[in-house]
Each structure stands twice: as structure tokens, then as C-alpha cells.
Amino acid sequence: MMRSWDHWVEEALQKLQHLQLVGSLRPIHLHSAPALEAQKPIEDEFNVFDELQPWDRSAVQVQITEATFQKWVHDIPSSGDDDGIQSFKKLLLFSTNDYLGLGSHPTIGKAAAKVALEHGMGPRSSALICGYTDYHRLLESCLADLKEKEDCLLCPTGFAANTSLMVALGSVGTLLAAGKTPLPDEKIAIFSDALNHASIIDGIRIADKQKSVQIFVYRHCDMNHLDALLSSCKIMKKVVVTDSVFSMDGDVAPMVELVKLRKEHDFLLVIDDAHGTLVFGKNGGGVAEEFNCERDVDICVGTLSKAVGCQGGFIACSKKWKQLIQSRGRSFIFSTSTPVPIAAAAHAALIVARKETWRRRAIWNRVEDFRALTGIPIKSPIISLVVGSEEKALQASQSLLKYGFHVTAIRPPSVPPNSCRLRVTLSAMHTRHDIEKLVDALSRCINFQELM
């Protein structure tokens, strides 16, 4: 019977302990910082609201100068500079990843401001030196609860979280081979969806430099192909990694089928829930909660820069995995930790999102509105409208700009040639009227029937 990943991780940690290379996190308690046991009184101080407020609209309403507008319309590169004071054009954003509008919530802003006034940015160092505080620990605990995992490790970005995890995975093979190049059957077999995020791809490439992994790329969401690859692979230590919601297509990983394959092939299941966290699931736990398979997902990577409305990344996992990643994940080890005001803001955002459940209902209402108005069977707030050539995508984006909508044309290298698209993202801060106006503008520059 195959040894479990828990056993291999424990063995790898023992090797690190013998080499005295286990990284330690020791939270520094800042003056008047909240203690973990004091979470309840802190939460009671947070103001929450029962419906859309005037400030919420700033999450989707912006303005740009006339000079920037003209450059965009005529596809002229811009350095970001504007010449002098000019008139402004108002735009409605359909390109933000702030799915719940929490980035403009006053309670979250106040949480960041309060901590910034008391502590500035906090200790500026790696988390393994002096950059880890009780604010960071409080946020990690809250994220672990959200994802129903034993623990959580904060990272400076979601990108760093994925690269740290992939490198740590590769290190298992190296450590168990006693520092030598692992034999073919001692390597880590990583199975990655063809459309996984760039951070996963880059992380796997870095891990491959250790000569301890073998990489298999399966066709996008093709469980038959994945099953065939797993069945033919003789390596014992198998990992399957996938986005939960794919950022360029908006489709959702086949979680039920993945869980079935996991039970059959006994692999470690890793999901990047960047676009699912706080959006999917009754409690905002993400795609795993949506499909009632939290226990079948071994490691969940996420970001604080999308629905949480802040900045940073995290890895929700077991305590043993956390210890291994913080000891081997180079992107984590060699990065300065998240500023304490951001950690405080993200913690506040998680509390607000849990209490203001209407925000999650609102975004799914907007998904249903778009589906009903266009007939396009979208599965998430990410809408991929593939038009083909770069020219068509740019023309459509520029046309929408003239109608007052900020929708970006996605071109290579983000997507393959001749699959250029308009990437529309919905927010809880949009209204049905916003969707109706957008659909009307879209119908003037693309044919919905061709997208079915």
C-alpha cells in the first residue's frame, strides 16, 4: 500500500531538522495589537451594512483624463503620465477582480488606518527574521478557518504563494534522496492543467531545476486524459494541481471528478482558489466548499488581492506542510512580509465578508442577469468573450470605451494566438441596470450567437 504524503512530508522535515534548516515563525507582539483570544470583541467593533452603500460604487466607477482616453481609443502606448489638468471621462469598470467591492469598504480602510497610525508599516523584514507579527498570525488563523485547514502560511503575493509551494514540493524529492539527484522513481510527479495560472507554471519550472520532479500537463479539465497519465505513471509521489476557477476562461475545475480520481490514484490535490475565495460556497470558503469537498483538497492556495480587496497570498494546509513550505519556499523565505496595516485590513475584510452575506448573493445575481440577457451559460463572474484576432479584440474594447465601459482586450502572451478576447468581470457593486447597459454595448460590437 502506498505511503501517504503525510509520511513523506514528516520524513522530509526530519531531514531538515537534522540539517538544522527548519524555518521558524515567532510572532512579534506589537503594542496594543489584538490577541488571538480577543477576536470576538474586535469583530464587534467592525461596522457592517445590510445593503449597497454610496461608497460601494467607487469599486466599479473610475475616471480617466481625456488624454489617456484618446490614447486608449487609438491604441497609442502610454507611459502613465498625463499632461496638466484636463477634463475627465467617467468609466464603469468591468475589469476589476474586487468581486465583492471590499476594497472600498470603510470598515476595512479604518482597520488599515488604525494600525498604520499605531505601528506604521510594522517590522520590515522577512517573516523568518522579524517581519512576522500577531497581526499576521491572526489573519492566518482566520484564513485556516475559512478553508477548513489546520493552518495557513501568509505570502507577499498569490504568485509567491504558488511558486513557494511548487519549490517546496520539489524539495521533498531532493530531501528524501539525501541530497543526491533522485532516481526516476524517487521524483515527484506533478500533473498540471494546461490552462493553470502563470504562477503555477513558473513555480513548476523552478522546481524542475532541482531535477526532482517530473512534469505532466493534462488537457484542460480533461479528466480522461488525467486518468490515463496517472495510470501510466510509475512514480509513487503524485501531485495534481489546478486552478479552481480559470482566470482567462471563467470555467470551474471538475472538482467531483478530481476527488474521484484522488481516491483512485492517491495523489496530493492542490487547488489555486484565487478567483473562488469568498465568491463560491455558502460561507465564502471557495470552490471546495461549493462542491462539499474541503477535506479532499489537501492544499489550497489563494490571494488577498481579489475578493478580499487587499494584497497578498496564502497557503492553507496542515501544520507539517506549513513548516516545510516556510523552510523551503524561496519566494516566501526571501521576501519581506506583508505590512501590518494590510494584514489588519485583510482580517477585517474576512469578517465583513462573513457578516455581509448580501454581497455574495449580489454577485451571483449579476451572473444570472448576464446569463439571462445574453443566453451565454457562464459559470462564474469571469466572462470570456473570445473574438479571435487581436484587431477584433482591440476594436471591441475601444468601442466599449466610447460607450463608457472599461473592458480590457486580452491578447498573447496571456492567451494563445487567434483566441484574443474581451475579459469581463462582474462585481457585487454592479447593478442590473449596469449589466443591461453593458450587454447593449456588447451587442453592438460582437455577435453573442457566435459565442455559444
**What pLDDT, in 10s, does the model give residues 267-276?**
999 999 999 9
Which has more pLDDT, 417 or 82?
Answer: 417
Whether residue 309 lies inside any domain: the answer is yes
Q: Are 86 and 394 in contact (CB under 8 A)?
A: no
Whether residue 36 lies inside any domain: the answer is no
Q: CA nearest 247: which of 398, 22, 415, 64?
A: 415
Whether residue 48 lies inside any domain: the answer is no
CATH no. for residue 21? 3.40.640.10
Of 57-71, 181-195, 280-294, the least confident: 57-71
Picking from 355, 385, 408, the residue at the C-terminal end of a domain is: 355
Q: Are 312 and 156 in contact (CB under 8 A)?
A: yes
Question: Are 283 and 315 found together in one domain?
Answer: yes
Examine the pLDDT at 386 and tell me if it is beyond 70: yes
Question: Are 317 and 406 found together in one domain?
Answer: no
Question: Are 349 and 409 found together in one domain?
Answer: no
Q: Is the peptide bond before 377 cis (omega within 30 degrees of 0)?
A: no
Residue found by looking up cell 489550497 in the block: 300
Examine the pLDDT at 32 and tell me if it is beyond 70: no
Question: Are 259 and 234 found together in one domain?
Answer: yes
Examine the pLDDT at 44 and tell me if it is beyond 70: no
pLDDT of residue 275: 98
Q: E-strand spans in 230-297? A: 237-243, 268-272
Picking from 324, 355, 386, the residue at the C-terminal end of a domain is: 355
Of 76-85, 235-244, 290-299, 382-391, the least confident: 76-85
pLDDT of residue 41: 47
Q: How many domains does the chain have?
A: 2
pLDDT of residue 361: 97
pLDDT of residue 292: 98
Question: Are 18 and 148 found together in one domain?
Answer: yes
Average pLDDT over residues 285-303: 98
Whether residue 95 lies inside any domain: the answer is no
pLDDT of residue 33: 47
Whether residue 141 lies inside any domain: the answer is yes
Examine the pLDDT at 282 and tell me if it is beyond 80: yes
Whether residue 136 lies inside any domain: the answer is yes
Average pLDDT over residues 265-286: 98
Which has more pLDDT, 203 or 415?
Answer: 203
CA atoms within 13 A of residue 390's CA, in its CB half-sphere: 8
Average pLDDT over residues 131-149: 97
Whether residue 90 lies inside any domain: the answer is no
Domain residues for the domain of 257 are 5-29+109-355
Examine the pLDDT at 248 and tell me if it is beyond 50: yes
Picking from 355, 370, 392, the residue at the C-terminal end of a domain is: 355
Average pLDDT over residues 273-280: 98
Band (pLDDT 50/70/90 cuts) for residue 43 is low
Question: Are 127 and 201 found together in one domain?
Answer: yes
Prediction pTM value: 0.93
CATH no. for residue 388? 3.90.1150.10
pLDDT of residue 227: 98
CA dist., res. 43 & res. 36, Å (int):
12
Cβ-count burial of 434 within 10 angstroms (0-12 exposed, 13-18 middle, 19+ buried)? buried
Question: Are 218 and 349 found together in one domain?
Answer: yes
pLDDT tens, 430-447? Answer: 999 999 999 999 999 988
Question: Are 351 and 236 found together in one domain?
Answer: yes
